[in-house]
Structure 1
């Protein structure tokens, strides 16, 4: 496949190709050795400069998938501390530091002006290039982490550095740069921020470290609003759009769940119509979006125009609301640690009485929140725990997802919480049947192991500690009489420790590895003392 482009693009391409030949990134290749041709062309970046592209879309379909856990925005959320300072590094031509195996080179070939070339260094664009690069970088990042107190998150060639002390971070940032230079990397000065700041751009988000919030970047916000305005106009005039175009917009909006946790509720209508069109006519076809999607699009437009940052710090619940929905009516109680504060009860009308138990329970939660709104405001409650014995209601509100039949009711819960301006944590009451599914969704069952009892006892004795509760265990591996379990078992006092308060306890914490960041974050936020043992995990 020959180069595609204008005369100007061909001229720029030739300059970049000659530079890559000098740097041993690409090399001439004999035509008879080529096993796969890849299209190649130029695109102009936002800053006006050109980028040389190897289009590996067709090749990627032939490459096997494999799983590798990359750092992501949720890890940033768990790592950030209120009042942090941050710097960021972007590595120049990072992938080109990896050498392609000889047997893979025939598959990375391209043609330019009747000459044939292939990549000697790893190109950007093949499916597993980011994974190979992240794997190669991990030992380097581990060494850096073990020699500094700064917190580091790296995503492929982007690196975020965090610390509470501005001067210390500035000094350590220079040392990190020196280490990376030693291994042959160079930073991109245009995309790197080496002066400590409390507003940093990382992974496509704008992070405010001074007040621990995150919001969509201005440029991305404008592009999404443009797409949404177009979609709304096309729906109103019944313009045909491609199924893939709809899927692309849904994907972009779904990415914003870090800022708008309820995003799924307002994508359901569009996603349902897209899925139906793909099922009936196929992915490579067009569709006309029904006007029922317009209210959700209007919601997205309003949200992005306001761009209110999401709070990253979870406040411990100051009160608990418990709800119950019987066939005859719904009731709720509001209490703090010491006493009952308020009670509310109502009976269903004929239509409400015919609702499913899930619908009634969700409605009872909404009514309870509305009944206690004034009390919560007067007592200046910032965070509320909600308890329900209905597994579907708890799961749907916790994940802000629901079946089509429950979407409207779940939206009402969200809108009520939004008006109250309170943080909520919703948990199951003892006896519910959905703990296994919920626990599996957070990988919490990965903790089916324990520290040897002898070592545990020796450690407690040597450190003169007497822990009162085991927070991450099950009935067959708890080391203390009082324990919280990851799933329903025997003898636990509660389920899902991350949604319980840890105050007034000296907790023994030996969490599953995937939950370590969340456990450390909760310790900091509740300002408690705890005994924690974990593997060296830089």
Structure 2
């Protein structure tokens, strides 16, 4: 019988790479072939196959810190140090930390201490990467958080399953070229992280990109489902529980085949069973909220409100990190208490540059804490929950989507199919982007006035992807007098309507106005402006969706120049899916002509696509007519989900 050696018994890091131990943590690297079948994203496949390669700026110098500064530890980590020896030893046994013995290599290693935090009685080892994080560049990325879900889910009763990936970061390897950045001194020995450590600033972005591939695959693979993920937390919903249960079995196998492991304690993998601690079959806990897909509401659990109230019981001094934690929690609770961001807005001014430094709370700040605590206690007594945003509104409601870019503004009003844009005047061009956002909103509400409707009967909902302007409009106050004058003008127009709501939404849901505000694409001065592919890390990325008028203008330009016209459709985001692509061709064209021209499409032409307002996959139908090519989005068939 073959014996399995522990990581300490292996003679070298290279041998550890080759030798699979029974105790070793699962790795996506071992399942590269499966990953290559579900995605063509070269960035993700490179991480899966070769591990993460971390680039630092030129000013980076290795650090040789072994233990924590006592000031940093005070009240934050000391209480959990008793867990450190056994937890670190566990990382060594699982081949997450590997020993380095070469003196030359040890000299190059950046060593930082570890600390252990405890969440829900579960200890977690964190790499203190603060020194390293100063020299890393974190790319901008968006997470599908609870706010995003509430803005994406239609007003319809659903069943849901959720699953949580266990120890996600440790499933991704660190490339040998970068392991020297993640060194640790333990028991007079030097170790480096072989897997991606918790604590580095780029980790959430990397795993979000990797996990996003799984979500995209689920959306593409299965009919009549909506799939979301927030890092390692996944949610899949459907109107058909039997279909969802069948999907659940396949997803469990898929996750295993990808070298990942589902945390069964935090997952709900049967759509129809009663969930522990929850009351009904259509309730599920996800992202710290209780989602009731029968009542179409989301609730904050009482324990989370109590945690927030407890955190707000501060004395005169508080660390910047503790204040940032409070603000993050309040932002989450704003799911059900939409006025909380307005109350908490002044607190952001107190955040220090160095989050480890302490600040003295002024009387005004303490008063804000007191008011917020009062609101949270009121929420505890009467937890109404927040209704999931409806997409199909009544005839008296008008939605306005607005956006501003450095070039111009865009306004989209679905009710009357108004798609309005204009470039900035010379005076407007000099203004700050937040002021430009307000100008776009003013233009949007003016468009309704121009329709000559009976304004007092209309409820107006303004959707903006600018959190700053959304906050200004709710408060009707800003520091600059110029902005206040603009707010006053907008308020005077809004007062003519029955009600008005200012809603901040993710940019992903504001694509209509966003595309309209990018007026450069309308000018078509350069050939490059109609080229299709945006090369990002070698991966084919589509440009933002274009309004129909823009699309037609580009196609007419191509026809006028005598070029072959190829009209394509892609699914909802980042890649061209062959079966969704249709090509305008003559009646005698071969049935497999699109297969022959895929390469030509990706090299020469813009794949035009126009996603629906809901993130629903596989509802697309392509219609080929004799003269023109057209396409449309059809609603989900609730009766026949397969």
Other-structure match for 1:213: 297
Q: Distance in 1 between matches of 2:261 and 2:122?
A: 19
- 1:180-259 correspondence runs (5 A): 180-196=255-271, 197-228=281-312, 230-231=313-314, 234=315, 239-259=316-336
CA separation of 1:139 and 1:309: change in aligned 2, threshold 3 A: closer
Structure 2 distance, partners of 1:444, 1:74, is 29
Aligned residue in 2 for 1:24: 95
Q: Is 1:168 the equivalent of 2:268? A: no
Distance 2:117 2:615 in 1: 44
User: Structure 1 96/385 Cα, relative in aligned 2: closer, same or farther at 3 Å?
Assistant: closer
TM-score, normalisation: structure 1: 0.59
* Residues 1:516 and 2:516 aligned together: no
- Post-superposition Cα deviations, 1:174-216, rounded to whole Å, max 9, x if no partner, equal 1100111112221111111112242222233332222332233
CA 1:301–1:145: 2 relative to 1, 3 Å: same
SS at match of 2:157: coil
TM-score by length of 2: 0.51
Separation in 2, partners of 1:122, 1:129: 7
Secondary structure in structure 2 of the residue aligned to 1:171: helix
How many Å apart are 1:252 and its aligned residue? 3.2
Contact 1:384-1:425 at 8 Å conserved across structures: no
Give the corresponding residue for 2:343.
266
Within the alignment, does 1:152 sit opposite 2:227 as a pair? yes
Q: Secondary structure at the match of 2:196?
A: coil
- Relative contact order (C-alpha < 8 Å, sep 6+): which is higher? 2
Q: State the distance in 2 between where 1:444 and 1:209 align.
A: 40
Selected match of 1:42 from 98, 105, 116: 116
**Residues 289 and 250 from structure 1, CA distance in 2 versus in 1: closer, same or farther, beyond 3 angstroms?**
farther
- Residue of structure 2 equivalent to 1:117: 191
Distance 2:499 2:164 in 1: 37
SS in 1 for 2:237: strand
CA distances 1:356-385 after superposition (whole Å, capped 9, x unpaired) = xx9xx9xxx9xxxxxxxxx97xxxx9x556
1:88 aligns with 2:148: no
Taking a change above 3 Å as real, the CA distance of residues 395 and 41 of structure 1, as seen in their structure-2 partners, is: closer
Q: Could you tell me how far apart the structure 2 residues matched to 1:91 and 1:156 are?
A: 9
State the shift of 1:22 in Å: 3.6
1:247-268 per-residue CA deviation (whole Å, 9 max, x = no partner) reads 4433432344444444443233
Correspondent of 1:128 among 199, 202, 216: 202
2 CA distance for matches of 1:110 and 1:166?
A: 48
Calculate the aligned-residue CA RMSD, in Å.
5.3
Where does the alignment leave 5 or more consecutive residues of structure 1 unmatched?
322-335, 338-357, 366-374, 427-434, 453-469, 481-509, 525-529
Aligned residue in 2 for 1:105: 179
d(CA) in 2 for partners of 1:386, 1:80: 18
Q: Relative to 1, partners in 2 of residues 1:128 and 1:14: Cα closer, same or farther, differing over 3 Å?
A: same
Pairwise CA distance, 1:29: 1.3
Structure 2 distance, partners of 1:102, 1:219, is: 43
Contact 2:110/2:182 (CA < 8 Å) preserved in 1? yes
What do residues 479-534 of structure 1 show as CA deviations (whole Å, max 9, x unaligned)?
99xxxxxxxxxxxxxxxxxxxxxxxxxxxxx9997x8353668xx9xxxxx95379
Secondary structure of residue in 2 paired with 1:516? coil
| Aligned partners of 1:317 and 1:385 also within 8 Å | no
Q: Match for residue 47 of structure 2?
A: none
Separation (CA, whole Å) in 2 of partners of 1:72 and 1:221:
18
Q: For 1:214, what is the secondary structure of its paired residue?
A: strand
Report the CA distance between 1:113 and its aligned residue.
1.6
Distance (Å, rounded) in 2 between the aligned partners of 1:7 and 1:202: 29
Q: CA deviation at 1:243?
A: 5.0
1:403 positional shift: 0.9
Q: Helix, strand or coil: the match of 2:553? A: coil
* Preserved contact between residue 344 and residue 368 of structure 2 (Cα < 8 Å): no
2:367 is aligned to 294
Unaligned runs of 5+ in 2: 1-65, 272-280, 399-414, 417-438, 447-455, 505-509, 533-545, 557-605, 620-629, 635-642
My pick for the range that moved more, 155-164 or 36-45, is 36-45
